[in-house]
A and B are shown apart, each in its own frame.
Chain A
Amino acid sequence: MSKGDNEKETQTEAATGPSPRKGRLPRAGVIGGILSAVALVAAGGGLVSAASLTPQNPASRQLEAPVAAVPAGSSVGVCPGPARLLEGTPVGTDPQFSPESATAKTAVSAAVLGSSAGIIPGSRLAPLKGAPLAEIAPGAAPTASAPAASAPPARTPVLVAGVLPQREVDNISVLSADAQNNHQAAAGAVLSYTAEDGDLQGSAAAACQQPGNDLWLVGANTALGRSAVLNLTNASSTPATVSLDLFGSEGPIQAPGSRGLLVAPGSSRSIILAGLAPGQERLGVRVRSTGGPVAAVIQQSVLRGLTPGGVDFITPGTAPSVSQVAAGLDIQDPAALAALKAKPGFADAGPALEVAVPGATDAVVEIKLYGPDGQKALPGGGVVTAKAGAVTEVSLAGVPAGTYTVAASSDVSFAATARLTRGLQAGDAADIAFSAASARLGSQHIVAVPRAGDRQLVLGAPAGRATVTYTPITADGKIRTAGTADIAGGTTVSIKIPADVGGSPLVGYVVSAAGDPAYGALVLARDGRQDISAVALAPEAAGQRQVPVTLGY
Chain B
Amino acid sequence: MVSHDGGDFLPRTLAALAAQTRPADAVIGVDTGSRDHSAALLEQELGKANVTVFDQPRSGMGGAVMAGLKALAPWPAEGSAATAPGTDWIWLLHDDAAPAPEALAELLRAVERAPSVTVAGCKQLDWHAERRLIDVGLSTSRWAERLTLIDADELDQGQYDGRSDTFAVNSAGMLVRRDIWEELRGFDPALPGSGDDVDFCWRNRLAGHRVVVVPSARMFHVSHRPHALGNATAARKAQVHLRLKHAAGWKVPLHAAGALLGSLFKLVLSIAVKDPGHGFSQLLATFAALGRPAAVVRGRRNAARTRRIRRSVMKGLQTPRREVWAHRRSLIEALGADDFGSELTGAGPLAEQPTGNTDDFAAIATPDRGWVGSGAVLAILLTLAVSLTGLLSLFRAPAVSGGALIPVSLRLAEIWNHASTWWISLGAGLPGHGDPFGYLLWVLGVLGAGDANGGVGWLLILAMPLSALGAWFAAGALTARRRLRLAAALLWAAAPALQVSLNQGRLGALVAHVMIPVVVLALLRATGTAAGRGIHAVPAPGQGRLIPRPAARPGVNGTPSWTAAAAAGLALAVVTAAAPSLLLPSMAVVALCGVLLGRRGRTVWWALLPSLALFLPFAFSVLDRPRALLADPGLPLGFDAAPLWQQALGQPLNFDAGAGLTGLTAFGGSAAGSAGPAGLPWALLLALLFGLPVLLLALAALFMPRRLVLAGRTRTARGLWAVAVLMLAGGWLAGHVASGASAEVLVTPFPGPAVSAAAFAFLGAALIGAEGLLDAADRTAGTGLARKVLIRGTAAASMVLLLAAPLAGFTVWTAQNLLQPTSQTPTQAPAATAGHSGLGTPRLVQPAQARTLPATAVDRGEGPEQSRTLLIASNEDGSFDATLMRGAGTTLDALSTIAAARGILGAPGQETVRDDDAVAGSLRNVVATIVAGEGVDPREDLERLGVGFVVLRVADSASELTASRMDAVPGLAAVGQTGTGWLWRVSPLDRPGITDSDVAHRVRVVDGSGAAIGLLPSEEVSAAGTVPAGPEGRLVVLAERADPGWSAWLDGRRLTSTTSGWSQAFTLPAQGGQLSIRYEAPWAVLIGIAQAVMIGLTVLLAVPMPARRSNTGLSRDEASLRKEPQHV
Contacts and interface: CB of A to CB of B under 8 A. Distances in A.
A56 B913 contact: no
A446 B743 CA distance: 41
B928 A44 contact: no
A547 B830 CA distance: 22
A68 B716 CA distance: 59
B748 A73 contact: no
Given A44-B728, A47-B644, A71-B925, A13 B745 contact: no
Contacts of B679: none
A552 B881 contact: yes
Given A9-B712, A51-B732, A62-B638, 15 more contacts: A2-B714, A3-B596, A3-B716, A6-B716, A7-B600, A47-B729, A59-B638, A59-B748, A213-B964, A238-B971, A238-B972, A547-B928, A549-B931, A550-B879, A553-B890
A63 B648 contact: no
Contact of B879 (A36, A47, A214, A547): A547
Contact of A4 (B597, B643, B725, B880): B597
Given A3-B596, A10-B711, A63 B427 contact: no
A57 interface: yes
A214 B920 CA distance: 32
B502 interface: no
Given A47-B644, A289-B967, A62 B728 contact: no
B549 interface: yes
A73 to B, nearest CB: 3
29 contacts: A3-B527, A7-B597, A7-B599, A7-B600, A9-B711, A11-B558, A14-B558, A47-B732, A51-B643, A57-B735, A57-B736, A60-B640, A60-B830, A62-B744, A63-B743, A71-B928, A73-B935, A213-B933, A213-B964, A213-B965, A238-B973, A288-B964, A547-B931, A549-B927, A549-B931, A550-B881, A550-B882, A552-B882, A553-B899
Interface string A329-343: 000000000000000
Interface of B: 426-427, 527-529, 548-550, 552, 557-558, 592-593, 596-601, 635, 638-641, 643-645, 648, 699, 702-703, 706-707, 711-712, 714-716, 718-719, 721-722, 724-725, 728-729, 732, 735-736, 738, 741-748, 751, 830, 833-834, 877-884, 890, 895, 899-900, 909, 913, 916, 920-921, 923-925, 927-929, 931-937, 964-965, 967-974
A22 interface: yes
Contacts of B712: 6, 9-10
A267 to B, nearest CB: 16
Interface in A282-296: 288-293
Contacts of B703: 34, 37
A63 B741 contact: yes
A6 B745 contact: no
Interface string A23-49: 001000010011011001101100110
A40 B596 contact: no
A551 B882 contact: yes
B380 to A, nearest CB: 32
A131 interface: no
A236 B890 contact: no
A402 B299 CA distance: 126
Nearest to B557: A10
Contacts of A140: none
A21 B706 CA distance: 10
A381 interface: no
Contacts of B899: 553
Contact of A52 (B529, B645, B736, B883): B645
Contacts of A2: 714-716, 718-719, 722
B715 A22 contact: no
Given A2-B715, A51-B643, A59-B735, A70 B747 contact: no
A139 B985 CA distance: 31
Give the dominant DSSP class at B's interface.
Answer: mixed
B640 A48 contact: no
A61 B640 CA distance: 10
A504 interface: no
Contacts of A5: 715
| Most chain B beta-carbon contacts within 10 A, residue among A7, A34, A59, A542 | A59
B964 A214 contact: yes
A553 B895 contact: yes
A28 to B, nearest CB: 13
A70 B929 contact: yes
Given A60-B748, A551-B883, A542 B934 contact: yes
Given A7-B600, A291-B967, A550-B882, A63 B745 contact: yes
Interface in A143-197: 179, 184
B718 A40 contact: yes
A59 B719 contact: no
B738 to A, nearest CB: 7
Given A236-B935, A289-B967, A550-B882, A69 B721 contact: no
A293 B972 CA distance: 13
Interface string A183-225: 0100000000000000000000000000101100000000000
Contacts of B880: 547-550
A243 to B, nearest CB: 11
A76 interface: yes
A110 to B, nearest CB: 19
Nearest to A5: B715
B123 to A, nearest CB: 35
A69 B195 CA distance: 82
| Most chain A beta-carbon contacts within 10 A, residue among B592, B644, B746, B934 | B934
A66 interface: yes
Which range contains the number of A residues in contact with the other chain?
A: 35 or more
A74 interface: yes
B1064 to A, nearest CB: 20
Nearest to A46: B725
| Most chain A beta-carbon contacts within 10 A, residue among B718, B830, B833, B882 | B718
A380 interface: no
Given A238-B967, A291-B968, A68 B742 contact: no
A4 B598 contact: yes
B551 to A, nearest CB: 11
B486 to A, nearest CB: 27
A344 interface: no
Contacts of A51: 643-645, 732
A213 B557 contact: no
Contact of B558 (A4, A10, A22, A61): A10
Contacts of B751: 59
A70 B928 contact: yes
A60 B639 contact: yes
Given A36-B718, A62-B744, A290 B641 contact: no
B718 to A, nearest CB: 4
A56 B900 CA distance: 22
| Most chain A beta-carbon contacts within 10 A, residue among B527, B557, B712, B736 | B712
A22 B967 contact: no
B550 A48 contact: no
Contacts of A62: 638, 744-746, 830, 834
Given A60-B639, A290-B974, A293-B968, A37 B725 contact: no
A40 B745 contact: no
Contacts of A552: 742-743, 881-883
A72 interface: yes
Contacts of A14: 549-550, 552, 557-558
A545 interface: yes
Nearest to A76: B935
B887 to A, nearest CB: 13
Nearest 8 interchain pairs by C-beta: A73-B934, A60-B638, A548-B879, A59-B641, A51-B644, A550-B743, A68-B924, A73-B935
A65 interface: yes
B640 A1 contact: no
Contacts of B699: 41
A18 interface: yes
B719 A1 contact: yes
Contacts of B932: 70, 545, 547
